[in-house]
């Protein structure tokens, strides 16, 4: 999954940032979300979970340090994202879906729960 975002407001939500950046494993992230639920924290958990299960690449000018404890790959441009995708998948064949409202959606592969 390649997400292209300026992130002009950084991560935007302090709870999202806390869950995404302050934990180095999903078990502790989940416990924190369950203990102190917030929408921002849940969104941070979902982003971290997507990065655990899929190749998640963020094209942004944001510093990559906040993402160090997650499996989100931060790159600077789409060419770098495509090169990383080819490296991670071991293939030059790539499929693409453009999601103009991607900030409001989370894609699912058909047949998943």
Classify residue 107: in a domain, yes or no.
no
Classify residue 26: in a domain, yes or no.
yes
Classify residue 80: in a domain, yes or no.
yes
Classify residue 100: in a domain, yes or no.
no
Which residues in the chain land under pLDDT 70?
A: 103, 106-107, 109, 112-113
Classify residue 20: in a domain, yes or no.
yes
Please report the pLDDT score of residue 36 as a whole number.
97
pTM: 0.84
Please report the pLDDT score of residue 41 as a whole number.
97
Determine the structural domain holding residue 88 and report its residue range: 2-92
- Contact call for residues 69 and 23 (beta carbons, < 8 A): yes
Residue ranges of alpha helices (H) inside the chain are 14-21, 26-35, 39-53, 78-89
Please report the pLDDT score of residue 105 as a whole number.
74
Classify residue 12: in a domain, yes or no.
yes
Number of domains in the chain: 1
Please report the pLDDT score of residue 113 as a whole number.
55
Classify residue 106: in a domain, yes or no.
no
């Amino acid at each position: 999954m390649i997400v292209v975002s300026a992130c002009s407001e950084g991560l935007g939500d302090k709870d999202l940032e806390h869950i995404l950046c302050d934990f180095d494993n999903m078990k502790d992230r989940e416990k924190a979300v369950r203990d102190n639920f917030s929408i921002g924290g849940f969104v941070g958990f979902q982003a971290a979970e997507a990065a655990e299960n899929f190749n998640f690449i963020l094209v942004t000018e944001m510093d990559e340090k906040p993402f160090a404890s997650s499996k989100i790959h931060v790159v600077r441009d789409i060419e770098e994202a495509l090169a990383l995708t080819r490296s991670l998948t071991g293939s030059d064949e790539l499929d693409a879906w453009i999601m103009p409202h991607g900030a409001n959606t989370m894609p699912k592969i058909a047949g998943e729960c």
